[in-house]
Structure 1
Amino acid sequence: RLNAASGAPFTIQASTDRRARLPGADFVVIAVEVNRLPLWRLDWEIPRRHGVRHILGENGGPGGLLHALRTVPLVLEIARDIEALCPHALVINFTNPLSRVCLALSRYTSLRVVGLCHQIGAGLANVAQTLEMDEAEIDLQAAGINHFTWITALHHRQSGLDLYPAFRTRLAQRPAAFEPLSRRLYDAFGLFPANGDDHLGEEIGWAWETDPLAADTTAAAEPALFRSQQGLKEVTAAALDEALHDDDALTALLEHRSDERIVPVICGVLHNRRQVEIAVNVVNRGAVRNLPEWMVVEAPAVVSRAGVQPLAVGDLPAGCAALLQQRSAIASLTVEAAVHGDRQAALQALLLDPVVNSYTAADALLTELLAAQAPYLPTFARRAGA
């Protein structure tokens, strides 16, 4: 029905045997989770019981650690099949925690990998709303790691005018409830974060001061994101079902433009467009000069037949870089814990994490999380068996 309405020639084939579909692939998209919502709830609730005031519990803090321990082994299994059956494919990863999964792929495979996330769109929207401008008028440059990037430059696309001064002035006029965490970081470190407070808060130890749910240790342990994820699945299914039977719904579906950049990236490679993407996740290799070479950074890149190549953005301010360098050590230890089932590395990652402020709590919550999720942690099970 979509092909008939759009004149497209696409064929969709589904299979639960990925090895049957991988041979000859030019692009492989990885977007997987392990029993997502029930285990995410444990990632949130168990650390809270041990006094951790964290945000979301998805990609940073103890929840980000357990999330990676579940997804990294699964993604590496998929990667081994890609290496065997279509080793030249460009792998496009959406699986979270994005930077940690991409780091595992870069460290333990020979594949070409790029991670994509739509969160930069939230930052651009915040800037545009603050400046009361159309997003298309704004040239935004940001660099950092996924969910924690800094806006390093802000210009008017046509005139080249530096928009940062006007942004600071207008930001001060917005209500105090607008992105309070980002504003504190801006005041302290001199650059505005590009991703919005929710995911950013997962990386900041004192983020609970600006988040009512995290600050209130007696609050119901259910971030709205749990409910919104389930609701999104239901809404999406209903919209697709409606488009099967209703012409107006079909037209609306075809006219919808996603914030995801996967189609432009694929087209950029296929047609050698040499286009600039403002945020991709790739191995640093000097793009951000004062971050580790091996670290997976989120930075602008050129997309061409050669793949996705990050652009050099120079140094970040020392304070901004220091916050991210700490995350690089956490990510590295997390990957090693996930790959080898190494509890010691997992504990070290927790003790380095800024949202954890107690050894006793870190050790106890790790024990409880590993026990509660044992069926979903194959590398830990293998190590225990050995």
Structure 2
Amino acid sequence: MSTKIVVIGAGSVSFGPAILRDLFAFAGDLRGSEIWLVDINAEALDVMARYADKLNAAFDQPFTLHATTDRREALPGAHFVIVSVAVDRLATWKLDWQIPLQHGVRHVLGENGGPGGLSHALRHIPLLLDIARDAEQLAPQAMLLNFTNPMSRLCMALDRYTRVRFVGLCHQIGEGYRIVNRALGLVPETGDRWADMHTIQQRIHITAAGLNHFTFILDLRDAQTGEDLYPLLRAQLAQMPADFELMSRRLMDVFGLFCASGDIHAGEYVGFAAETIALTGYDFHRYEQHGRKQWEQIQRIADSTEADLGALRKAVRPSGERAVPIIHAMLRDLNQYELSANIRNDGCISNLPGDAIVEVPAIVNARGVHGIQVGPLPKGLAAIMRREIEIQELVVEAGVKGDRNAALQALLLDPHIHSYAQATHLLDDLLKAHAEHLPQFA
């Protein structure tokens, strides 16, 4: 029986090509699989489907390819469902960033935590749950691999309101490797993000755990000798320029561990982050420019009548994302080690709630993705995370039920909010700005 893999959100220029290249990088092991590409944007989907056809020809037709705008057509009998979806991503994120600033909220990114993370979650919880419920009905044994943010909140919604098997995947652990390597100076970097990551991992091994975008290095080793590198890291960080990951260094000095997520992402959960991180937000302009260039390249290949199939094949290499390697490990029962997976805690971090969604190392085999027990976190860090977990619970309740009071409670618990008036007026403005995407609050 062939493996059926459904990719929802395949028309995304940042997601679709990367997943396709990963699938073809594993074409030898996944040969004979049925790949369904799904996106509600028919024009983008058509381009991506034609790009996939070119890759399929370059690799001697390893896959049976399908494309549809109707996920229910694609899902029946699926073994794996990869999801990366967004509601008008850049336009809505800009509002999530700008509106809190207008109310005096000094936040640093506005995507996964803080009031921006609340707003982001309210739009995406219903969408992801609709996809998951279709999978429950049409592919009840499937593993859902989620890339959509806010990761912890959406995975919590999956856990609380569906029966799907799931794992949340995020490549931010790679930033931890790059930060540590810059401090230690062990591996020269070339600028090739994923090649550098692979090389760095040959020298450094990190064990990190916590919440998505808020993980901390529990253990740091020389991957070749097993030497404990934490003492060297502490010494080297003390010599780094004052602006080098300053917030994470302060957290380490106070709570004992260095953050593996990088200041900007971790700063979404820290009330004093704006003291050390500029309030410039995400570089939307650069993201849009990069996306246009990527799309033009994909479209040229898709439109070509005489594509250089040899060059296409040679250009395919793993993206560094982990969905396809995890699928491969499950199909081959590999007991494969993964640096990070967002899953239900169930004792992996002993001093966080068992039903929290945590990001921990994991083992992947035919039975699924299994978190590794890492013990307790320092009390102070665990306290910050427990507060965030309670906020996540309220956000999920608000997103599912359209409960304005739950959303207000989530804001009032947030470390970025400093007054009742600020919270109520901000919430009103966010709900009004995104009303067309929030039918549960109508």
TM (norm. structure 1) is 0.93
1:205-225, Cα deviation, whole Å (9 max, x unpaired): 1100012226xxxxxxxx343
2:265 is paired with a residue whose SS is helix
Which residue among 254, 273, 281 is the counterpart of 2:316? 254
Cross-structure match for 1:217: none
Which residue among 144, 148, 154 is the counterpart of 1:91? 144
Percent identity between the aligned chains?
A: 52
Cross-structure match for 1:317: 378
Which amino acid is 2:355 matched to?
A: W
RMSD: 1.5
1:170 is paired with a residue whose SS is helix
The aligned runs of 1:10-21 (5 Å cut-off) are 10-21=63-74
Which amino acid is 1:168 matched to?
A: R
Q: Does 2:287 align with 1:229? A: yes
Cross-structure match for 1:329: 390
Cα distance in 1 between the residues matched to 2:407 and 2:437: 16
1:13 is paired with a residue whose SS is strand
Residue 263 of structure 2 contacts residue 277 of structure 2 at CA under 8 Å; is this kept in 1? no
Q: Does 2:258 align with 1:192? A: yes
Task: Tell me whether 115-124 or 4-13 shows the greater mean CA deviation.
Answer: 4-13
Which amino acid is 1:2 matched to?
A: L
Cα distance in 2 between the residues matched to 1:26 and 1:320: 37
Which amino acid is 2:407 matched to?
A: A
1:20 is paired with a residue whose SS is helix
Q: Does 2:332 align with 1:271? A: yes
- Could you tell me how far 1:242 is from its partner in structure 2? 4.6
Cross-structure match for 1:220: none
Stretches of structure 1 lacking an aligned partner (at least 5 in a row): 215-222, 382-386
Which residue among 233, 245, 250 is the counterpart of 1:179? 245
Which amino acid is 1:24 matched to?
A: G
Cα distance in 2 between the residues matched to 1:40 and 1:268: 34
Which amino acid is 2:365 matched to?
A: S
Which residue among 210, 213, 217 is the counterpart of 1:147? 213
1:12 is paired with a residue whose SS is strand
- Could you tell me how far 1:139 is from its partner in structure 2? 1.4
Cross-structure match for 2:8: none
TM (norm. structure 2) is 0.81
Q: Does 2:426 align with 1:361? A: no
Residue 202 of structure 2 contacts residue 224 of structure 2 at CA under 8 Å; is this kept in 1? no
- Could you tell me how far 1:228 is from its partner in structure 2? 3.1
Cα distance in 2 between the residues matched to 1:231 and 1:177: 27
Which residue among 156, 159, 184 is the counterpart of 1:106? 159
- Could you tell me how far 1:280 is from its partner in structure 2? 0.4
Cα distance in 2 between the residues matched to 1:160 and 1:278: 17
Cross-structure match for 1:116: 169
Cross-structure match for 2:129: 76
2:67 is paired with a residue whose SS is coil
Which amino acid is 1:268 matched to?
A: A
- Could you tell me how far 1:251 is from its partner in structure 2? 5.2
Cα distance in 1 between the residues matched to 2:272 and 2:282: 20
Which amino acid is 1:231 matched to?
A: Q
2:85 is paired with a residue whose SS is coil
Cα distance in 2 between the residues matched to 1:201 and 1:32: 24
